[in-house]
Amino acid sequence: MVTLLTAVLFYFGWASSDAESTALGLQDSLFHLSTSDYLLRSVQALFLPAWVVAGAALAAVGLHRWAADEPRRTAWAARRLRFAWLPPLALLAPYRLHPGLFDLLIPLSAIIGFLLTAYARTRPPPATPEASGTTGLTGTRRRHHQRVWALTVLISVLLLFWAVYAYAGVVGRGRAAETARSMSTKDPAVVVFSKYDLMIRGGGSCYFRVLEKGSAFGFRYSGLRLFHIAGDRVYVVPVRWSPGEGTVWVLEKSDSVRVEYVSGPAGRAEKCE
């Protein structure tokens, strides 16, 4: 179970990062994210699904106990739940109307349908006077139940990865939109000093020659925003950068480059100082 959870978290982190990078006109591989980065990027976004799953599990337990109190009620529900895998197929018809939405609804509803079907088909038959002297399941019936649940779990895991990919796309595109909105209002401004000319030009960025005597740096760049940090790499963009248009500069920290981060509205002003 822990292995499956870790795999889902990693897959979600990668898929959401890939969707975010694509929406920004970039590629996920540019940022050199590690396994721990992908796992950490998954945690916050999965809080809501985790609560939904927990609530659904509690509701399922409550419904099971409610149905188990009345044998007739249980038998009635079991007969209908044997075909619970069929209704999700109806969602395939309107799929083209909103692929992004149905990419999430179809696998989630199919998981619920297959689990309910397996539950109904492996329920023990109602007790009868003729069967009152027998205990447990026969070996053949037990093996049949095991095969049903094994197939159900396999299908559910495959559908789970489909749902995770769809939800990760929604989260990634949302993060990309938030990045574009916050570029000029939240992200810190960046000032770069370099011993050599880094050829940072355009998009509202500015460069100046450092004329102070004794300075270890010959060039100063402003009008930049922090985009991403990965290890010793700092990713910066010009103040007028937008998704799909503009340049991302990758700076490697070294003795010849110094990066300063400036917070506050004054530091995020578009003008170069």
Q: What are phi and psi of 239, to 5 degrees?
A: -65, -25
250, 220, 224, 251: which is closest to 237 by C-alpha?
224
d(CA 9, CA 46): 9
1, 5, 80, 86: which is closest to 39 by C-alpha?
5
Per-residue pLDDT at 182 = 76
* Model confidence pLDDT, tens digit, residues 127-142: 554 444 445 567 788 8
Per-residue pLDDT at 129 = 47
**SS3 state of residue 191:** strand
Output DSSP code: residue 237.
E
**SS3 state of residue 230:** strand
118 with 148: CB under 8 angstroms? yes
Contacts 24+ apart (CB under 8 A), 123-126: 123/74, 123/78, 126/71, 126/74, 126/75
Alpha helices by DSSP H, the chain: 2-23, 35-43, 47-68, 71-81, 99-121, 139-182
Q: Between vectors from CA 237 to CA 251 and to CA 191, what angle results, nearest 5°?
A: 65
For residue 228, what are the β-bridge partners? Answer: 235
Per-residue pLDDT at 132 = 46
Evaluated on CA atoms 20, 24, 27, 33, the torsion sign reads negative
Task: Tell me the angle at which helices 99-121 and 71-81 cross, rounded to the nearest 10 degrees.
Answer: 130
d(CA 226, CA 246): 14
92 with 106: CB under 8 angstroms? yes
Per-residue pLDDT at 72 = 73
* Model confidence pLDDT, tens digit, residues 192-239: 999 999 999 888 888 899 888 888 899 999 888 888 888 788 999 988
Per-residue pLDDT at 257 = 92
Q: What string of DSSP letters covers 243-267?
A: TTBS--EEEE-BTTEEEEEE-STTT
187 with 264: CB under 8 angstroms? no
d(CA 50, CA 205): 43
Burial of 13 (0-12, 13-18, 19+ CB in 10 A): buried
Per-residue pLDDT at 84 = 85
Please list the ranges in the chain whose pLDDT falls under 50: 129-134
